[in-house]
Amino acid sequence: MILREYEADDCRETAELFYHTVHKVNAKDYAEEQLNAWAPKEMDLEKWNRSLQEHFSIVAIEDKAIVGFGDVDDTGCIDRLFVHKDYQRRGIASALCKKLEQKVQGRTETHASVTARPFFEKIGYRVTKEQRVERQGIFLTNYIMTKEQIKAAFFDIDGTLAEMRSHAIPDSTREAIRRLREKGVCCVLSTGRHPLEVEEENILPGLSFDGGIWLTGQYCELHGECILQNCFTGKQLTVLKEFLGRYGRSCIFLEKEAMYCNLVDERIRREQEKIGTAVPPVRDLDGLEAREILQAVPFIDEEEERELTALLPECKLTRWGEGVVDFLPPGGGKEQGILAACRALGITPAQVIAFGDAENDIDMLHLAGIGVAMGNGEPAAKEAADFVTDRIEKDGIWKALVKFGMIEAGAV
């Protein structure tokens, strides 16, 4: 397939393609009188040609025939995007749309038909308004949909960038992040991990990032500067310490410059082994109430989780393993870290793409303009995402970034 700019000689062929596509492909969503009003058999070809020449217009060529076309105006509105009825689902619309978006280099908008809405949603557009438009006295439903240019990308580590136990990172993921940063996209980690363990255990060798949403959003930095720090109160820590003592449960405590646990048992060993991470050193909890604890990681079952939630309902718990949860101060969460990063960067969440795989990624995936769940992720994360990509080891991150036009396809 070849993409080239529209020429005046393409006028009649594109008009005929438009007519036949509307009357065949869109027929499942619109009545015959609506189709006739939208795409009449007799068209003003001079007006059609003029409108395409006034816009940035491109055609897709295959076997010396036009199989698709699209155009975008100076405001960033994609006016038309049509693919020949016999060439549907071959990636032609995606290729055309990507080229139009590259021309705009900013926020794009389209008025999508009922038929086209799912396609645009899959490539990152969101409905801002449903409307009824009039064509020759006949009303048709369509949707105003918008897509922001992505300025920042946030990545969970375990189960997203790296495999759970081995921490293996595909070469395609490394290359994808390199290309994003080369294009000026701010790349930030978003993880429940502490920066100390990532550094000490060399979990992400050879990868560079512009910042980190650490400890599930409790400590966040961007370009080396702290942009958010959120700690438990002394009263909350007292309740947590008493709860752990009552059940004899292990718990990891995370400060800005330290991480430790209260005791080592089989549960903490098992859950840490699952993610390929060592059990931190043991430290006495005397005076815990006076420490600046950013996050706790209690190794508790679901029944104990419900009790802890009842004791401290203002705090947030998110489960990431069979016998372990992240326990966060009020206002905590990866999404809060992303909001802080957006404020620091001067962008909106609509200009963010986020990748995750687990329950503690759900709010982040909901917040981002494009939320991507890994194919190896948990069902709840997949349900929350705008798009489910392939598994880590099958180049999931690379494939998603190619799909959304953020990096070019081709050999890694």
pTM for the model stands at 0.70
**pLDDT for residue 106:** 78
Q: Measure Cα distances from 129 to 37, 111, 132, 174 in Å.
A: 22, 9, 10, 38
Rg (CA), the chain: 26
Angle subtended at Cα 358 by Cα 355 and Cα 362, rounded to the nearest 5 degrees: 70
- Determine contact, residues 160/392, Cβ cutoff 8 Å: yes
Confidence of residue 149 (pLDDT cuts 50, 70, 90): confident
**pLDDT for residue 412:** 65
Mean pLDDT of 181-208: 93
Q: Measure Cα distances from 140 to 21, 24, 129, 347 in Å.
A: 17, 16, 14, 35
Helices (H), 31-139: 32-38, 45-54, 92-104, 117-122
Sign of CA pseudo-dihedral 408, 188, 400, 353:
negative
Residue 159, pLDDT > 80, answer: yes
Residue 123, pLDDT > 90, answer: no
- Determine contact, residues 325/300, Cβ cutoff 8 Å: yes
The Cα–Cα gap between 321 and 233 comes to 26
**pLDDT for residue 411:** 61
Residue 405, pLDDT > 90, answer: no
Residue 329, pLDDT > 70, answer: yes
Residue 176, pLDDT > 90, answer: yes
Other beta carbons less than 10 A from residue 199's beta carbon: 10
pLDDT digits (tens, 9 = 90+) for 46-85: 999 999 999 999 999 999 999 999 999 999 999 999 999 9
**pLDDT for residue 404:** 86
Confidence of residue 331 (pLDDT cuts 50, 70, 90): confident
* H or E segment and range at residue 278: none
pLDDT digits (tens, 9 = 90+) for 205-238: 999 999 999 999 999 999 999 999 999 999 999 9
Q: Measure Cα distances from 183 to 42, 152, 189, 209 in Å.
A: 46, 11, 18, 14
Q: Please provide the DSSP assignment of 327-365 as one string.
A: EE-TT-SHHHHHHHHHHHHT--GGGEEEEE-SGGGHHHH
* H or E segment and range at residue 239: helix 234-247
Sign of CA pseudo-dihedral 42, 47, 49, 51:
negative
* H or E segment and range at residue 379: helix 379-384
Q: Map out the domains of the chain with their CATH numbers.
A: 2-147 (3.40.630.30), 152-230+333-403 (3.40.50.1000), 234-328 (3.30.1240.10)
Between the two ends of the chain, the Cα-to-Cα distance in Å is 22
